[in-house]
Each structure stands twice: as C-alpha cells, then as structure tokens.
Structure 1
Amino acid sequence: MGSSSHKSRASGRSSTKTSGKSKRKHSDAKSYTSSGPSNEPQPDASEEALESGSEEVPQPTFLFQVNQLPIDVDSAHAYRTNDSGSWNPPIYRDGFGPQIAGNLYRWDASGSITLATDCQWYNGTFWSRSRQQVATYCTRTVFWCNPFAQFMVATGDASSRNMADSDEPHNRWWPLTFEYDGDISRVTESAEGQYLSGSGPGWIADLGLSSYVPRESTRPAGGLSGNLATLFGIISMSCSHRHFDSMITHVLRDHRWRGHSHRDGRSDQRGVVVHIYYDPENTGGSNWETIPYIEFEGSPLVR
C-alpha cells in the first residue's frame, strides 16, 4: 500500500478494527459534488419512503457514471512523486487530460445493474424522460497509481480544481480506509482502519485489494460497501475501459460478486471520475436518506 500517511478527521489512522454497527449514519460525501460542497437542493424523501403505513415503500436505486481520466503526459504537473519516489496523482488541473465519458447506469435493490436508457445527456447534464434534471449525490476521483502506492482517492472531480489551492478535504489525495460493521468493510477516505475486516472471498483479489487484507486474519470478510463513488471506481479497474460496459451489467447479481474473465485494468497511473446520481424516476427510494443508508448501514454491495 502507499506510503502516504493519513489522519482520520476524528482521531488519527489506526489498523485496529472496531466491532459492531458503524456509528456513521450519513456519508460525508453526500454534500460534495465535483466542485465541492453542493449548493443544490437535495431531493426530498417522499412520505412513502419515510412512513411505515400501508403503502409499499419504494425500493432503493441510484444512478452512476464512470468517466476515464487520463493524465496529460505533456504536462510537468502530471508527474509527482512521494518521499519514496512512487508516482502520485496530480494536484493541479493541467496535469490531467480530457475525460472520456462513460454510460449512465442504474443500480437497484436486487443488486442488479442496467443501462439507464431513460436518461439522456443534454446541455452539460443528464435529464430524465419526465424532464427532470438528474441531481448529483457525490463524486470521487479514483486512481490506481502503481503496485506500491496502489489506490488513491480525491473528493469531487480532481481535474476541476487546483487541489494545491483548495481547502481540506479537497486539497489532497487520500489512501483507502475502512469502517467496520461487523464483518462488513465500508470504504471511505476518512476512516481509521487501514485494512479490510477479513480475508478469503474472491472479490478481494479481483478488485485489487489483496494488500488491504490483515496479515494474520483468519476471519472471513463479510462484504464490501461504503462510499459508492469510491467503490465503483475500484470495481471499474477490475477490467480495462473497453471491457467495462460488458462487465458491469453481469459482474454483480444479488449483491454477490460473480467475477469475470477479463484481465484486470489496474495499469499504472490510471484514473476515473465516478459520479453517483439520485434516480429521478424513484424519488421515494433514491434520496438523502436512502443512499447514505445503502453506503454505511445496509447490506454490502459486494460479497
């Protein structure tokens, strides 16, 4: 894992695991878009989603998009190393090249992923068939640096700002950290745990997380969840960009990782920008209460 040190905003980084339910109800990420704290009004949770009356509660859904973010090989700002000489992602916007936009997908409560064909890109944003603008829940930039630094994460779209001139937490790259909910690991950039909750399942190696397994652990890992943008950034790098669309709709079913036959896509200095959106066609099941629950309280998305 990378040599960069990381302090939790609460009490410093630690590899000591905690037990029991995570105390974090809502993701810190929910107020951050690609440009920092969101000033947009968040979709309201419908009464159907908040009441336990006779009407059926809508099942949770969300939308996501994975954009490729290359570095600008002609920019001096694209090449930055840590104290050990290992490459780290740029902290200036001109260190990145133009993004390659990905398709928009929908995740549903069964754990299935399908193309969100009911939404279209127009005038710089996605719109639903009912002419509702698709609102952003959170954005993360994820890089696979190399086998030494491995995964690094930045809040928002790192290519939209000069991180060196930004306020915390937008001013730096963060290593992966984890919160623990029993045997479930919830990935984020602001937790205390350096390692997964256990070892064993095939998704650990497939997702490039073998170095995050506790060295002496005999406990099986129960699953992976957490910040959705970071999670789908990790998943996207399990294969190359050209295989992502054929992989993503088949690799997760019933919240279980089914694996795939493609070679992993963790090439040095590969980056993605991942946007998580509220589902405009399901406001009762896709809002500021349901999505944080998926991330930090619900069943793992991968197991």
Structure 2
Amino acid sequence: MSRSDTRWLYREPASSKHDRGSVSNPEPSQLHTSFLFIVNELETNDNPEDTGSVAPRIVNGRWMPPNQAQGFHRPVVGDVYRWENGVISGAEGYFWSEEPQVDQVHGYFAQGKIIRSNFPAHKQPKYYRGLTVFYCNDMDKFYAACDDVSTRSIETYYDPVQYGWHPLSFTHCTRENISYALQAGDRDTVIARHASWIGQVIPEAYRPHDSGPDEGGLSGYLPLIVALVAFSCTSNNLSHVLLQDQCWRNYTWRAHEYGHGRTERRGVVVSTYTDPENREGSTEERLCALEIGPDPIFTS
C-alpha cells in the first residue's frame, strides 16, 4: 500500500529540518519509534435550549456532528502520553498550551499545542497529525474529520470534502492480514474475525460478516487508533487503561474491566506529535511507516 493510496484525505505533516539529525544516523534496527499524543474531549454546542448554540445537524433522522465552528465548546484538556515501541507512559514535563497551532499553508487548525516549558523553540514537539472523532449513534457509529474541527466551519472551508466528516473505514492488506483504520478506506469491516482488539478497540459491528482469517493485526492513522482506544472507556478511566492497567502494551491489547465510552455524541480531538527526545526515531517518515507499514500497531 503506497503512502498516496491512504493519505489523500489528510494534510501532509509539515516538514521541519529539526525533525532529522544532522549527524550520522543509527541503523534502523537500533531506533525506537515514538510519538506524543493527547486526547481532548470535545462537547458540542447544538442544544436548542442554550443561548448561542447552533441548530442540531440531523441526517436521515439521526444526529451528526456540527459543520460550524461555533457548534463546539472549547476542548477539555487531557494528559500528554508517549508511545514508544508499543509501550505507553506519561510524557513527564510536557503539557498542553493554549497557544493556537498554526501553519503557513492551512492557518489555524488547533486550539492549542503540546509543549515542554524548558525546551527552545527548535526542540519543541512538531505537530504530526490530528483528528476529531465522534461516536454519533449506534447506526452511524464513528465519524472523523481532520485536525480540530472547532477551529473552522466545514461548510465554508476552502475544501469542505477533504476536511469534512467521513465514516470510519478500513483498507486491508490480505498478504499480512492487517486492517488499516482510515477515513477513506474501501472496506466497512476489519479483515480478522477474531483478535484481542475486537470488542473494545474496534466494536463488534466492524467484525467481518463473511469468511476471513481468524487472526489479524490493526494499524492506521495514529490519532484514529488512539481515539478508538479512548472510546474503549470513559475519559475518567483512560489513564488507568493506559498506565495502571497497561492494556496497550507491546503491540497487543489486553481487555480491561471498565465499561466502554461509546456514548452518543461523545467527541474527542486527538493530536499526535513527534517526540523531541527521540529525534531520529520520531520523524514523519517513521511515523508514516508505523501507520501504513507491514508491522501492525496491534497484533492479534
């Protein structure tokens, strides 16, 4: 699967000369891939009884996330985590700043950014990819849009299709039995019929209806994978799932005992960043390879 096949709905992560080491690079086998991420809860502002709210967006008689920036409240900030070679830890010293995330091409696209207070500007984490993900209802399930949708009105944005809402879908690699979670996939279900991550990370509704391999892996866009993990529980239990219970560890998923967090109209903004403490192992190229490469983020 080529990079262009699966990334057309997303901005290309902005390149930076600081993402790459200027001295001799270690061999790939010696590198640890890592990235930083944060899950911010996003509530909608579409209750007709609230002053200043937008009208609910109803499609085919069912609620869908708003298309207007004013249809959202400010995100509720979560904790910053580090993923490193399949192990999750708290990213000590990093926090969410309310300084807007901008770039010269796309402008304002997040209401904050991950920073480290004692790092100079050229050593700060670099924005890799972000997604807003909502669980709409039990029929439509997950819908996602690029970056933080509360920063723009989709209807009037310069590319409302590319930056609009799209359902969770998948692309399959039948040779490796891997399902890639995307917005622009050509499959509605995963490839594997049985896997440890089906049920909590991927709801049962996405299990294949016809024949398929018994086992298989899961990969895909990093913020989408993180969002699916976040929806496996409530926001209050996410740190327990990731840190105390270590449910996401060594490229496998261990089931937790908490109830799922897939409640109607719940939304999250997931932002992923390069890890400035791992410059050679946290480049755009390595994170892209993690997303769409032959080694799954979750094995069976």
Does the alignment reach a TM-score above 0.5?
yes
How far 1:119 moved relative to its partner? 2.1
Q: Does 1:288 align with 2:265?
A: no
Instruction: Kindly provide the CA deviation profile for residues 128-162 of structure 1, in whole angstroms up to 9, marking residues without a partner as x.
Output: 34333221001000000010110001011111100
Deviation for aligned residue 1:219: 1.6
1:212 and 2:206 matched: yes
Relative distance call for 1:126 and 1:23 in structure 2 (3 A) is: closer
- The letter for the 1-side match of 2:31 is P
Counterpart CA distance in 1 for 2:140 and 2:10 is: 28
Q: Does the C-alpha gap of structure 1 residues 27 and 116 become closer, same or farther in structure 2, counting only changes over 3 Å?
A: farther
* Cα distance, 1:26–1:50 mapped onto 2, change above 3 Å: farther
Cα gap change, 1:215/1:43 in structure 2, threshold over 3 Å: closer, same or farther?
farther
Q: Deviations over 1:198-239 (max 9, x none)?
A: 211242111242212221124224111110011111110110
Match of 2:89 among 94, 114, 130: 114
Q: Read off the aligned partner of 2:37 and give its amino acid letter.
A: F
Residue 248 of structure 2 is aligned to residue 252 of structure 1: yes
Task: Pick from 164, 172, 177 the counterpart of residue 172 of structure 1.
Answer: 164
Aligned to 2:109: none
Could you tell me which residue of structure 2 aligns to residue 17 of structure 1? none
Q: How does 1:147-226 map to 2 (within 5 A)?
A: 147-166=138-157, 167-181=159-173, 182-226=176-220
Helix, strand or coil at the partner of 2:259: coil
Deviations 1:227-252 (CA, angstroms, capped at 9, x unpaired): 00111111101101111111122111
Structure 1 CA distance, aligned partners of 2:10 and 2:128?
Answer: 7
Instruction: Assess, with a 3 A threshold, how the Cα gap between structure 1 residues 232 and 121 changes in structure 2: closer, same or farther.
Output: closer
The answer to whether the 8 A contact 1:78-1:89 is kept is no
Of 73, 78, 82, which aligns to 1:102?
78
Alpha-carbon spacing, 1:49–1:137, altered in 2? closer, same or farther (3 Å): farther
Asked if the contact 2:192/2:213 (under 8 Å) is kept, the reply is yes
Aligned to 2:89, the other structure's residue is in SS state: strand
The separation in 1 between residues aligned to 2:295 and 2:24, in whole angstroms, is 18
Q: Distance in 2 between matches of 1:255 and 1:267?
A: 26
Q: Give the drift of 1:272.
A: 0.1
Of 85, 109, 130 in structure 1, the residue corresponding to residue 119 of structure 2 is 130
Match of 2:65 among 53, 72, 89: 89
Cα contact 2:190–2:206 (8 A) shared by 1: yes
RMSD: 2.5
In structure 1, give the amino acid aligned to 2:88. I
Alpha-carbon distance change, 60 to 189 in structure 1, aligned in 2, over 3 angstroms: same
Summarize deviations over 1:25-73 as a string: whole Å, max 9, x none: 79628963xxxx66663643336786649xx732110000000001113
Question: Matches of residues 55-66 of structure 1 in structure 2 within 5 Å?
Answer: 57-66=30-39
> What per-residue deviation string (whole Å, max 9, x for no partner) do you get for residues 49-102 of structure 1?
86649xx7321100000000011133553511112x111111001111121001
8 A contact 2:154–2:160 mirrored in 1 = no
The number of residues matched between the two structures is 274
CA contact (8 A) 1:178 1:186 kept: yes
Give secondary structure in 2 for the equivalent of 1:206.
coil
Q: 1:68 maps to what in 2?
A: 41
Q: 1:208 to 1:291 in 2, by over 3 A?
A: closer
The TM-score, its normalising length taken from structure 1, stands at 0.82
- Distance in 1 between residues matched to 2:89 and 2:5, nearest whole Å: 26
- TM-score after normalising by structure 2: 0.83
In the alignment, which of 220, 229, 236 is matched to residue 223 of structure 2?
A: 229
Q: Which runs of 5+ in 1 are unaligned?
A: 1-21
Return closer, same or farther for 1:284/1:165 CA change in 2, 3 Å cut-off.
same
Identity of aligned residues (%): 28
Q: Which has the higher contact order (CA 8 A, sep 6+)?
A: 1
| 3-state SS of paired residue (1:179) | strand
Moved more, 193-202 or 60-69: 193-202
Mean alpha-carbon deviation: is it higher for 61-70 or for 188-197? 188-197
1:77 to 54, 76, 79: 54
Structure 2: which 5+ residue stretches go unaligned?
A: 100-112
**Amino acid corresponding to residue 80 of structure 1 in structure 2:** R
